[in-house]
Structure 1
Amino acid sequence: MEQKAARMLADGVLARVPDLADELVRVIAEQNPGYRRINVVTQDDLRTSCRDNMISVLRLIGRDGADEEQLYSAARCTGRRRAEQRMPLDDVLRSFRLGGRLLWQALVEQARADGTVDAEGLLEIATWLWEVVDSTSAQVAASYHVAEQQLVRIDEQRRATLWEGLLRGRAKDLAFAHEAARIIGLPVDGPYAAVVADVENVNAPTFLQQLLAEHGIDSAWQLRAHMLVGLLSLDSPELGIVLKVLRDSLTVPAGISLVVPGLADVDVAYRQAMLARRSIQLGRVEIAALADRLPEALVLSSPELAEHLIRLRLGPLLKIPVGERRILLDTLEAWVATAGSVSRTAELAHCHRNTVINRLSRIEAVTGNDLSDVPHLELSLALKASRLLPPGPLA
């Protein structure tokens, strides 16, 4: 069949496009319930899209391809717009197939009315029609995927911005708190705890969210640089089940905050979780709850005072050779932990009590401090600080 005859037939149907578009809107409502169920495409929007795409398909039938790029613009516009409206692509493409069927019926009716196309010619037009419908659908899908990827990037940026706002305390603004709660899928109120963990793998957020959900704990997670941050919505201020789940599943260091009342205080919880994480000594893999690390948190919260305390109570010890230094510091730590009991310190250090006495005497000689006059709390904090803070000039 000649292109001229096909073009004449298509031109005849073009005059009926406004009525055909109305009919296609009705057919889509009946046979493609996704549009009605999701209800994001207005009647006017759908009618305009149907009309423009029908015109494009009819003009593409029998053409030599010179204007194809321009004639596909309606399909690209539809794909982009439906992606922005979050319409499922399958429903969009189903509507194009319904439109193809309607156009085929119209072409057959036009051929019968004109009497210019025989049965063989109609079969040829049917082939061209569905080739055009397929190519148009491909343009829709390509445009849809491009827009979808852009929307994903925008959503990720928006989500990241909301997370930054939460962790900086913006949820004290009730409007921001409700918006953030809607996006991350957690309530505004209720007990919360924050978790920070070293990044193990990019699938950790999904894995942890599902694992906690199995124990009735809703959570949201975000990767930030080299740290994974989680917000846990709790039914009660108890962290027992959370600690068990995380200790059973994580193989990287992590810190858990105290419990706070709601999203408005997650910035506080986040800082607490970071302190708990920092309380873990280098090279150790632990899940540290701040409630169990308050002395360490105090040391880390004021590094200047901690360094002064180290210098005051341990300074000269940190100058002696590392082998002897470790033995003396471990002995001193055991002595403080046992409230100054030489016998119990000897048991912990696996040595004779006279050895403990000699080591304590050596510590007094090196530091110039009489251990009986130094508060054990100061010694305990100084020891913790020496293990947690980076080596200073006294080391």
Structure 2
Amino acid sequence: MKASIGQIEVLSPELHAIVAGLHENDGPLCQSIYDEIRETVSDYRLAAEVGLPDDLKASLTWHVRLWHEALLQARTPSEDVLEQAGALTRRRVHQGIPLDSLLRAFRIGSGGLWRALIEAVTGDEILEKELLLKVSPYLLRHFDIVSHHVAQAYMDEQFQQASWRDRVRGELWSVVSARREDAEAFARYCRILSIDAEAVHVAIVFAVHDVAGGTRLDSQTFIRISREMGMDGENCMYIRYRDHLVMWVPAGRGEPLVDGDRRIGKCAQQVIDRIGKIERAGVGLPGAGAAAWWTSLEQAFRAIEHGQGSGACVSRYSHILLDEAIAHSDSTRQFLGAILDRLAVEPHLLETLQAYFQHKQHRKSVASALGVHPNTVDHRLQRIETLLSGDFNDVAWLATLSAALRLQRSDVTKER
């Protein structure tokens, strides 16, 4: 009786012999498929897992032999065999191979196996017809069964991994947000996530498009963002907090803090450029330990709020240190306000002082910008010195004047 689609019809002795020969000498075929996968699927080529190439070869050989044995024995894979396929697949989750890349590799493999059979019977019309009528219906069914089982095993493993990691992240967040004095718990949960608890970390806050409308980030997007930030997508700390994505990024070992601050800011900009759901980012200052993580988080939120007013995509707290110092000290604001009030009596003095800093204290440039003679600028600067009992050669006094102007700009921005 003729087999239905999805079942395997017993092969003729001639075709059986050809498949047996491919089965006994499958090394070149396996190598050819391996090379095509590595060349075509970048995740297999670029993965950091050292043992992946050997593991891929072993898995590939197993699947090639499974296909040949199914044809030779005219028998579909048993549940036990499919469980073995699932076990091979689960390792890909831990090796960082995405599911779409895994399934693409399967399609490449099935194509390679079919081409090998076609090449083996080319020129023999009888065997070509047998291949078309007997084998091709089962080819699709075979790889549909195996790839479905593989995809299910992958998603199950991914869910299990994500589930326990999310629980650990939740525990770590409870320490950072409410039990910052519990250094032992902080170290324990960091260790479970393969995070160096003693290393310096920086908090980054990402604003997500249309959060109020229900836009969410899936786990793969979290992983993509973490990789853009130079981290392992699985072993990192991230949470959703106040409708933002928060991540803690390790500073480079031995990297100067200033260089690290600039590098992390650039990485955050890459996330915005490459991942459409992210619109703005705030970067805190580096620190080690639960209390420092929380402080950096607060700083990152203040930075992103400041950036929203200025229109910046990436705002670093290091750029608003003086603004923050001014904003959180009533006496400082009162003193700087008194400086502005005194200059406001003669408005052209305040205008001149603003231009003086904008043009990097170059008096001719200031005169040109204001449309006055350089001597006029000199007279106005002398008047400022007289009113405020200061000296433009005094660096500390210059810093105070600059802070007063920053306060004025901040107040104007708030009024808007």
TM-score between both structures, scaled by the size of structure 1: 0.47
Higher Cα Rg, which structure: 1
TM-score between both structures, scaled by the size of structure 2: 0.45
